[in-house]
Amino acid sequence: MKCDLCDKEAVVHLTQVVNGEMKEVHLCEEHAVAQGIDINSPISITDILMGLSGPQKNIAHELSLACPRCGMAREEFRKTGRLGCPDCYKTFMAELTMAIKAMHHSGQHLGKIPSREGAQTRVKSKVARLQKELEAAIAREDFEKAAKLRDQIKKCREENVKDDEGGKS
Amino acid sequence: MTLDGFLKRHGGWLEAGPEEGPVISSRIRLARNLRETTFPGWASKEVRNRVWSEVLLAFDGVEDSKSFLRWRMDELSALDRELLFERHLISRELAERQTGSGVFVNEDECRAVMVNEEDHIRLQSLQPGLNLQKAWDIADELDNALEKSLSYAFSSKLGYLTACPSNVGTGLRASVMLHLPGLVLTEEIKPVINAVSKIGLAVRGLWGEGSEASGHMFQISNQITLGKPEAEIIAHLEQIVLEVIEHEKNARLRLMGKQEIRVHDHVGRAYGILANAALMTTGEALDLLSALRLGVDLGLLPNMVRREIDQLFIRIHPAHLQKEAGAALSPEERDIKRAQLIRKFLDGK
Ligand SMILES: [Zn+2]
Ligand SMILES: [Zn+2]
């Protein structure tokens, strides 16, 4: 892939959020250094997202927003890239969702679940995992596998509904 | 046991392990936070103290909780904090924090739980050599034990919620500490670092950055923590580390094939300086010990054992030297002590 600014091979590939839009940036070694990016040190993606994102006019009216639990203001969070409490994820959901997607190329947890979490969380997570497998199966045109996965997902969801009703009674 | 007890021993993660030539150790770190509780960097002293107490109580659920030692940062001297940092048991960030911050370390130093670092809990498991799976199993078990009494901040969508969104999801940072003198000497380290960085992994020098890393020690770790199961993150890292090891081994073979006399010269000169110098800075010592370690791997120093050199890599650091001397030392006094320590080690060979 070529550098965005010249014809040399790009060695740095970044995802930036500019004015609320995700943008891929590809730079050669020279231009990366010129932009102040140290190509030898692993770049903190958060710093890039928070630092280079510039004035985000479209969400400027929300700047006064603060987390109801911990009081962290949006300004503060944008300055440090660190959240104030777990509830900040809800408060700053709009910009976090995009930043998290850019960092992890995903928005759905597929790992360990604390044993305290209820059966519903487990089912949700299982469905998310199967969904990912389903997409992969369709991508490689393995429709037999895809059909099986689709049925599994359906079954999971039905059982979940039953569990829910059972829980309420 | 007191902190001084550490000086007479080495961490269990410095024992022999798989792929121990180029690999020093494998580490799993898990970030966890308590539900509805302000993160340490934004919390009041009261909240931070409460978090410390909650974790302390949670250790009752850990089967061998008695084998854990614990220290709060505000009751340790700067030198003691530095000692824990030099032994890879706490981060620089924790060493600089005060109220409510501290660490639990089990006796063989293979497990450590930092409290009130960037997150409420940073749990680490260290294993010698390339052994991420075992490190994971141990971390997972400790995590389960603590979770019996702690309520973690968790969302079914974003997983474990962390102070920095770059850790959200699994909260997992898996890393392998590697000694790569072959790639440095053949000047192939830069392309390897660039290639590894491009596939979503981070490479950093253990002491110093990039290809300038002192002691030719590097750490490779995952960056992505969300959207993949832990097993997948670990397997991917392990696969890439195995490829880097292969490159390192090939570089060493090439060095010994075409430039054997240069390698002898490199190792011999390092030995000569280490055996005779009267003043030695940390940086110089790390680089020369790296040459010695390479010499051992290549069979050029039959009387030496790799693990002894690995221990020296830690013992030559400033806080270790000063604890061993039992006094604060000026930089020059440290350079003298460091040179003495190494000469004494080589005398016995
Ligand atoms: Zn360019
Ligand atoms: Zn908050």
Task: Supply B276's token pair.
Answer: 């005779």
Does B67 contact chain A (CB < 8 Å)?
Answer: no
Write the residue in B39, B154, B166 that is nearest to A114 by C-beta. Answer: B154
Q: Inter-chain contact B37–A85, Cβ cutoff 8 Å?
A: yes
3-state SS, one letter per residue, for B17-86: CCCCCCEEEEEEEEEECECCCCCHHHCCHHHHHHHHHHHHHHHHHCCCHHHEEEEEHHHCCHHHHHHHHH
Confidence category of residue A161, pLDDT binned at 50, 70, 90: low
Tell me which ligand sits closest to the C-alpha of residue A93: 2
- End of a domain among B223, B248, B273? B248
Q: Quick check: A165 pLDDT over 60?
A: no
Nearest chain B residue to A113, by CA: B159
**Running along chain B, 349 residues long, what does each successive block of 10 average in pLDDT?**
71 73 95 97 96 95 93 94 94 92 95 98 96 97 95 95 97 97 93 91 81 84 96 97 95 91 94 97 95 93 90 94 94 97 90
**Residue B308 within any structural domain of the chain:** yes
Smallest Cα distance from B337 to chain A, Å: 33
Spacing, Cα A73 to ligand 2 middle (Å): 9
Chain A residues closer than 8 Å to B44 by CB: none
Does one domain contain both B267 and B237? no
**Residue B115 within any structural domain of the chain:** yes
Smallest Cα distance from A10 to chain B, Å: 11
Among B81, B135, B142, B76, residue whose Cα is nearest residue B113: B142
Write the residue in B36, B190, B228 that is nearest to A69 by C-beta. Answer: B36
Chain A residues closer than 8 Å to B169 by CB: 104, 106, 109, 111
Three-class DSSP category at B317:
coil
Does one domain contain both B221 and B269? no
Does one domain contain both B296 and B207? no
Does one domain contain both B154 and B227? yes
Residues 6+ apart with CB under 8 A from B42: A70, A72, A82, A83, A84, A85, B163
Tell me which ligand sits closest to the C-alpha of residue A77: 2
**Residue B106 within any structural domain of the chain:** yes
Look at residue B44 in the predicted model and tell me its pLDDT: 95
- End of a domain among B226, B248, B270? B248
Does one domain contain both B122 and B204? yes
Domain that holds residue B319: 260-347
Q: What does the alpha-carbon distance between residue B75 and residue B337 come to, in Å, rounded to a whole number?
A: 28
**Residue B255 within any structural domain of the chain:** no
Q: What does the alpha-carbon distance between residue B165 and residue A86 come to, in Å, rounded to a whole number?
A: 11
Q: What does the alpha-carbon distance between residue B178 and residue B220 come to, in Å, rounded to a whole number?
A: 8
Q: What does the alpha-carbon distance between residue A141 and residue A104 come to, in Å, rounded to a whole number?
A: 26
Does one domain contain both B57 and B113? yes
Look at residue B119 in the predicted model and tell me its pLDDT: 98
Does one domain contain both B231 and B264? no
Chain B window 162-221: which residues touch A at a Cβ cutoff of 8 Å?
Answer: 163-166, 168-170, 172, 190, 193-194, 197-198, 202-204, 209-211
Chain A window 48-107: which residues touch B at a Cβ cutoff of 8 Å?
Answer: 69-70, 72, 80-87, 89, 96, 99-100, 103-107
pLDDT mean over A120-140: 83
Confidence category of residue A15, pLDDT binned at 50, 70, 90: low
Look at residue A38 in the predicted model and tell me its pLDDT: 56
How confident is the prediction for chain A on average, in pLDDT? 74
Does B8 contact chain A (CB < 8 Å)?
Answer: no
B193-206 residues labelled b (16+ CB within 10 A) or e (exposed): beebbeeebbbbbb
Size of interface A-B (CB pairs under 8 A): 140
Does A44 contact chain B (CB < 8 Å)?
Answer: yes
Write the residue in B35, B157, B230 that is nearest to A86 by C-beta. Answer: B35
**Residue B253 within any structural domain of the chain:** no
Q: Are B137 and B153 in contact (CB under 8 A)?
A: no
Q: Are A42 and B202 in contact (CB under 8 A)?
A: yes
**ipTM exceeds 0.90:** no
Does one domain contain both B16 and B81? yes
The domain limits of chain A are 12-104, 115-168
Q: Inter-chain contact B230–A112, Cβ cutoff 8 Å?
A: yes
Tell me which ligand sits closest to the C-alpha of residue A32: 1
Look at residue B6 in the predicted model and tell me its pLDDT: 73
Look at residue B222 in the predicted model and tell me its pLDDT: 97
Pairing status of strand B217-222 against strand B172-179: antiparallel
Q: How many domains does chain B have?
A: 2
Nearest chain A residue to B169, by CA: A109
Does one domain contain both B238 and B331? no
| Length in residues, chain A | 169
**Residue B284 within any structural domain of the chain:** yes
Does one domain contain both B87 and B143? yes
Task: Supply B67's token pair.
Answer: 């084998």
Does one domain contain both B162 and B311? no
Give per-residue pLDDT as tens, A54-97. Answer: 444 344 444 457 899 999 998 888 888 899 999 999 999 888 99
Question: Helix H segments across B96-210?
Answer: 132-147, 181-185, 189-198
Q: Inter-chain contact A106–B228, Cβ cutoff 8 Å?
A: yes
Look at residue A155 in the predicted model and tell me its pLDDT: 84
Q: Are B123 and B113 in contact (CB under 8 A)?
A: yes
Does one domain contain both B193 and B311? no
Q: Which residue type, as a one-letter code, is found at position B162?
A: T
Confidence category of residue A121, pLDDT binned at 50, 70, 90: confident
- End of a domain among B185, B219, B248? B248
